[in-house]
Structure 1
Amino acid sequence: MGSYKPVAGSVSCTECPANSRTSSEGSKLCECRSGYYRAHTDVNTTACTSPPSAPVSLSWEYESSEGGVSLRWRPPADMGGRSEVWYGVVCRICPSATNMPPSMCSWCGDTVTVSPSQTGLKQTRVTLKNLLTRVTYLIQVQAINEVSALSPFPPQFASINFTTSQSVPSEVPMLHQLNRVHDSITLSWPQPDRPNGDILEYQLRYYDKGSDEDSAISVFSETNTVTVGGLIPGSIYAFQIRARNERGYGPYSHTIYFSTLAMEEQSKQIQNRLPLMIGSVMGGAAFLLVVIAIIIVFVFRSKRRESPYSDRLQRYISNRGGVKYYVDPSTYEDPSEAVKEFAQEIDPAHLKIEEVISAAQFGEVSRGRYRPLGRREVLVAVKTLRWGVTDREKNVFLSEAGVLGQFDHPNVLKLEGVITRTPPERIITEFMENGPLDAFLRENEDQFSVLQLVGMVRGVGAGMRYLSERNFVHRDLAARNVLVNSNLVCKVSDFGLSRLMRGLDHNMPTYTASLGSKIPVRWTAPEAFQHRKFSSASDVWSFGILMWEVMSYGERPYWDMSNQEVMKAVVDQYRLPAPNGCPPALHSLMLQCWQADRQDRPGFDSLLSSLDRLIRHPASLKAEHSRPSQPLLSPTPTDLSTVTTVGDWLTALKMDRYKDAFERAQYLSLERVSMLTMEDVQALGVNLLGHQRKIVNAAKQLRTHLTQGHVEV
């Protein structure tokens, strides 16, 4: 006892390595003593080791330049007999009373960011950002090594608490150009994400792009709008802005360039507006003639036979509250009549197609340039109907133009016109440089501030309010059906499933879908997929899902659940949880959109008011709210019951393509894989953001699985 002999033969017995023992004679290996372990990468002839002790000398200091708190510590005094050590940072918010136990503190959540990382740290310094002012924080720094996951006890940690004071405002996130003429530019901007108190004033500085930054001129404003005058026509100027509170000025924003109009360009604008002014006068006269014609129709209604389109025309022109109601092209006996009525015919000679950019249901989509008479050339998207389609497919294709032509709103895709008199038939719309919203967000993950994301959501909401006011239900509102232009303006598009709302059901106009129609289940309200009842309230439900998509940077709603599982979960009152980094106030708004009774859901007008309040007061995006009444769903976990190797784990994740990369990087044990961070995954050569996120989340799940498994043993 006390020695071992791994193989038979004349070799002598060997004394057990440190922290190990044998309990009987003739032992082939030495077992680790209580509290000591061998990692899966350790061979049986090595000493047993233990988790490290807590880090030492933990301290903090406020960093005015970073707008956060810097934490420093030294490595543990006892490394547990091993050379490697990693650190993890745990953040809690505590009541202001002193000597509060950790159990009285709540988790910081994703509002506080830890740079460079919160887990898997090799260095002994981090910076905490996005801290609230006048709040007490409890910070714990854990020490972990290869055998920490084998211990039934939590890692050792050092803790420290501090209370933040009011600091200067954070950076103003963006500048918008509202107007420009030859000698002035009008700018607007949102409040900083973290004002840290009342904003007293803003300082805007600017200089000619060709000049030195030292020549900058400053303008001060107590509001978030200012007009800068005395500028040179046709010149480019650089602008920066910063905010001031009681503690002083925050950092300047990034430099943004805007240009004044050249004198000849301004003259052209005036000339271009002149026909519009004349047209407005002529249009007013024409409108009066139409009104007179309608009165005549009413007077002589009993004396002449009605036109088959008279009810529809009167409903369209009738101004109930000054709103023109949408006319469903499907109500026309010949849908091409709706296209003639609502869409402008374009001369093909004014259209130049440059390149095909994607395929569509009935043909292809191209980028082109359209230059109508008397107007400047504009970029356009051209949908072309393919040869050999049926009359029904042609009518469905053109009906989108009959829908779009009735709308005129900054957040609804603009129809330029159609080509129907010469084949192939084409629909021409404004060109949206950044494409569909979901793909755009996935390509630019974590590149926008919360305020910018809320601004995108607000734009979609404004477009939907406009549509709902016209008794119009979209039925397929989702991030994939919203397009984004170069200025990040979001516009509602793709009206393939849209319909006019008919009838009155408890004062709510409703559309009933036919049994054969397709329904996008993940975005659809329960009354819609159960009873096929669509209304503005079902569009509000879809808007809530779209908000979730935006805040999760294009994540698939309900992840890998099947449509049947989604429907069952929704009917059982389960709802999507807040995405990572999503402000509680915004998730609360989503949950309001997902009320089971459609009468309880807010209207688009109310949603827009709520979003505007959040934009005007960004600090409210960090406010806590009560626990949601509905149970929240989580992503479907990976089945780890049969996973014994790294290869098995990657197969369960459907990530077999990365097996060679894991082997080359010596990730040969599940314990090591469970400690993966985003930086580690990127170093492995995993370039797709969705795959990076999936692997890191699965590593966290694996870490929990391994820890729980050893506790049970």
Structure 2
Amino acid sequence: MAHTVTSQHSSVNVEGLRAATPYVVQVRARTVAGYGRYSNPMDFSTSLHSDPQKSVQDQLTLIIGSVLAGLVVVVALVVIAVVCLKKQRSGSELEYTEKLQQYISPGVKVYIDPFTYEDPNDAVHEFAKEIDISCVKIEEVIGAGEFGEVCRGRLKQAGRREMVVAIKTLKAGYTERQRRDFLAEASIMGQFDHPNVIRLEGVLTRSCPVLIITEFMENGALDSFLRLNDGRFTMTQLVGMLRGIAAGMKYLSDMNYVHRDLAARNILVNSNLVCKVSDFGLSRFLDDTSADPTYTSSLGGKIPIRWTAPEAIAFRKFTSASDVWSYGIVMWEVVSYGERPYWDMSNQDVMTAVEQDYRLPPPMDCPMVLHQLMLECWMKERNLRPKFSRIVSTLDKLLRNAASLKVVTSSYSGDLLRLGGTLPGHNRKSPEDSQEIIRQQMSQTLPIRV
């Protein structure tokens, strides 16, 4: 029977050993890069008359210390080698120097993929708090999730005030893989702590159904909330929402987490109009029954085409830069009050248009500076897209200088805009000329919405 002992030091006390009994011991280390491999098995036997732990303890300390030291050195060398290789390929010395420092600097918090655990259940127990079923009261169903229902309820824990929470349930008849994938979102969410990222309260893994409990966001998903409140917010309020989303994404990016499915439907809004990034099931959990059609790539898996960067569609190259592309689409969704990106165009037509450098036009009454920022997020070369840190800084400046939001772009009435020249500050023809050119160029392959 296997028994696991976890320690943050180079020694550990192994209790409950039987006298005159042989044991096999293996050791592995965990760093920000995940778990290392197990050491070679070491055989021990406890003494018949003396302390049954002593013979193991004396040797185990030395073994663990040696293995930990060796694994740390190996991990450091691998990280340095990978960083140097990336540096040669990209030619960006500063970027990868910062990345190297992030990996080897003590105290830096980096996201750990729960699927790197030999048993993903270990990740749940490490990052998510187990809540007793007696503390939870489900009140009503408010929606459907990927694996079951989403409910509103109340959480009352000892020493804490009762609070309204959202409760995700795992439907009956689940497979072990579905249970693992369902709880993986809690393992991911439990690693985050930011005012613009949805907060995990805890999980219930020992009950039926299995539950994930998060903070409750009164206004629900951002896309439907905007459609219900079309035209009711000032541009400053909309930019404030965008700033919150960008701040949440900067935090996730700094932790080396790539969202892969950033869209207004996956942003939740509370009663104070604070927007929080949610839905950490990743794109691997999207299916054909979702409200937003997806495209199955040749490499497998579902991709939300309208929100996804070209390199992520073509090569499954998901990075913070591809999240920036998606953020540009979210900007467009917010300013257009939840309009569907690319309207009624098919996924294939969207991919063809983007590949030919067509981009979404500014929504009605869109400030010029916001559409310019969208276009920068949609640069084909991902290294030219702004980082989330710069996006946050830009939006902060716009909020301090509200006059810049009053310069509005001309509407293109639903026609796509073709990029020309280098952004920002590229040269364009007049709106009327551009509209006619777009009609002529796209009439053979794409539907034109007027």
The TM-score normalised by the length of structure 2 is 0.68
Q: Partners of 2:334 and 2:196 in 1: how far apart?
A: 16
Q: Partners of 1:598 and 1:371 in 2: how far apart?
A: 46
Give the secondary-structure state (helix, strand or coil) at the position aligned to 1:445. Answer: coil
Are 1:323 and 1:469, in contact at CA under 8 Å, matched by a contact in 2?
A: no
Deviation at 1:516, TM superposition (A): 1.1
Q: 2:28 aligns with which of 292, 307, 311?
A: 307
Q: For residue 312 of structure 2, what is the aligned residue in structure 1? A: 528
- Label 1:375 to 1:358 Cα distance change in 2 as closer, same or farther (>3 A): same
- Label 1:485 to 1:467 Cα distance change in 2 as closer, same or farther (>3 A): same
Q: For residue 205 of structure 2, what is the aligned residue in structure 1? A: 420
Give the secondary-structure state (helix, strand or coil) at the position aligned to 1:382. Answer: strand
Deviations 1:320-370 (A, max 9, x none): 375311011111122111100100000111111111111222110110010
Q: For residue 371 of structure 1, what is the aligned residue in structure 2? A: 156
4+ long deviations beyond 2 Å: 308-311, 317-323, 622-634
Deviation at 1:428, TM superposition (A): 0.3
Once the two structures are superposed, the pairs formed by residues 479-518 of structure 1 within 5 Å of their partners are 479-497=264-282, 515-518=299-302
Are 1:473 and 1:498, in contact at CA under 8 Å, matched by a contact in 2?
A: no
Q: For residue 182 of structure 2, what is the aligned residue in structure 1? A: 397
Q: Partners of 2:171 and 2:428 in 1: how far apart?
A: 48
- Label 1:326 to 1:445 Cα distance change in 2 as closer, same or farther (>3 A): same
Q: For residue 98 of structure 2, what is the aligned residue in structure 1? A: none
Give the secondary-structure state (helix, strand or coil) at the position aligned to 1:448. Answer: coil
Q: 2:145 aligns with which of 360, 365, 373?
A: 360
Higher strand content, 1 or 2: 1
Deviation at 1:578, TM superposition (A): 0.5
Q: Partners of 1:468 and 1:419 in 2: how far apart?
A: 29
- Label 1:624 to 1:421 Cα distance change in 2 as closer, same or farther (>3 A): closer
Q: Over alpha carbons, which structure has the higher Rg? A: 1
Deviation at 1:629, TM superposition (A): 5.4
1:429 aligns with 2:214: yes
Are 2:154 and 2:165, in contact at CA under 8 Å, matched by a contact in 1?
A: yes
Q: For residue 439 of structure 1, what is the aligned residue in structure 2? A: 224
1:336 aligns with 2:121: yes
The letter of the residue matching 1:494 is D
The letter of the residue matching 2:28 is S
Q: Partners of 1:419 and 1:371 in 2: how far apart?
A: 14
1:560 aligns with 2:344: yes
Give the secondary-structure state (helix, strand or coil) at the position aligned to 1:369. Answer: strand
Q: Partners of 1:514 and 1:330 in 2: how far apart?
A: 23
Give the secondary-structure state (helix, strand or coil) at the position aligned to 2:134. Answer: helix
Q: Partners of 2:29 and 2:7 in 1: how far apart?
A: 18
Are 1:478 and 1:545, in contact at CA under 8 Å, matched by a contact in 2?
A: yes
Q: Partners of 2:388 and 2:190 in 1: how far apart?
A: 22
Q: Partners of 1:493 and 1:547 in 2: how far apart?
A: 16
- Label 1:377 to 1:569 Cα distance change in 2 as closer, same or farther (>3 A): same
Q: 1:454 aligns with which of 234, 239, 250?
A: 239
Q: Partners of 1:593 and 1:329 in 2: how far apart?
A: 29
Are 2:143 and 2:151, in contact at CA under 8 Å, matched by a contact in 1?
A: yes
Q: 2:370 aligns with which of 573, 586, 602?
A: 586
- Label 1:569 to 1:346 Cα distance change in 2 as closer, same or farther (>3 A): same
Q: 1:600 aligns with which of 384, 409, 427?
A: 384
Deviation at 1:624, TM superposition (A): 7.3
- Label 1:397 to 1:514 Cα distance change in 2 as closer, same or farther (>3 A): farther
Deviation at 1:296, TM superposition (A): 6.6
Are 1:514 and 1:532, in contact at CA under 8 Å, matched by a contact in 2?
A: no
Q: 1:384 aligns with which of 141, 164, 169?
A: 169
Give the secondary-structure state (helix, strand or coil) at the position aligned to 2:180. Answer: helix
Deviations 1:82-105 (A, max 9, x none): xxxxxxxxxxxxxxxxxxxxxxxx
Once the two structures are superposed, the pairs formed by residues 53-72 of structure 1 within 5 Å of their partners are none
Q: Partners of 2:202 and 2:298 in 1: how far apart?
A: 30
Deviation at 1:458, TM superposition (A): 0.4
Q: Partners of 2:116 and 2:264 in 1: how far apart?
A: 29
Q: For residue 676 of structure 1, what is the aligned residue in structure 2? A: none
- Label 1:309 to 1:514 Cα distance change in 2 as closer, same or farther (>3 A): farther
Q: For residue 97 of structure 2, what is the aligned residue in structure 1? A: none
Q: Relative contact order, CA 8 A, sep 6+: which one is greater? A: 2
The letter of the residue matching 2:206 is R
Are 2:332 and 2:374, in contact at CA under 8 Å, matched by a contact in 1?
A: yes
- Label 1:369 to 1:441 Cα distance change in 2 as closer, same or farther (>3 A): same
Deviation at 1:627, TM superposition (A): 6.2
1:539 aligns with 2:304: no
- Label 1:566 to 1:354 Cα distance change in 2 as closer, same or farther (>3 A): same
Deviations 1:548-577 (A, max 9, x none): 000000000011111111111111111111
Are 1:585 and 1:622, in contact at CA under 8 Å, matched by a contact in 2?
A: no
Q: Partners of 2:375 and 2:124 in 1: how far apart?
A: 39
Deviations 1:213-246 (A, max 9, x none): xxxxxxxxxxxxxxxxxxxxxxxxxxxxxxxxxx
Are 1:574 and 1:630, in contact at CA under 8 Å, matched by a contact in 2?
A: no
RMSD: 3.0
The letter of the residue matching 1:581 is D
Q: For residue 664 of structure 1, what is the aligned residue in structure 2? A: none
Q: Partners of 2:331 and 2:182 in 1: how far apart?
A: 29
Deviations 1:428-479 (A, max 9, x none): 0000000000000000000000000000000000000000001110000000
- Label 1:546 to 1:328 Cα distance change in 2 as closer, same or farther (>3 A): same
- Label 1:611 to 1:377 Cα distance change in 2 as closer, same or farther (>3 A): same
Q: Partners of 2:347 and 2:427 in 1: how far apart?
A: 24
Once the two structures are superposed, the pairs formed by residues 209-358 of structure 1 within 5 Å of their partners are 293=9, 305-307=26-28, 309=30, 312=34, 320=105, 322-358=107-143
The letter of the residue matching 1:595 is M
- Label 1:630 to 1:483 Cα distance change in 2 as closer, same or farther (>3 A): farther
Q: For residue 469 of structure 1, what is the aligned residue in structure 2? A: 254
Q: Partners of 2:279 and 2:103 in 1: how far apart?
A: 27
The TM-score normalised by the length of structure 1 is 0.44
Are 2:221 and 2:265, in contact at CA under 8 Å, matched by a contact in 1?
A: yes
The letter of the residue matching 1:355 is E
- Label 1:514 to 1:409 Cα distance change in 2 as closer, same or farther (>3 A): farther
Higher helix content, 1 or 2: 2
Q: For residue 91 of structure 1, what is the aligned residue in structure 2? A: none
* Unaligned runs of at least 5 residues, structure 1: 1-288, 298-303, 500-512, 638-696, 702-713
The letter of the residue matching 1:427 is I
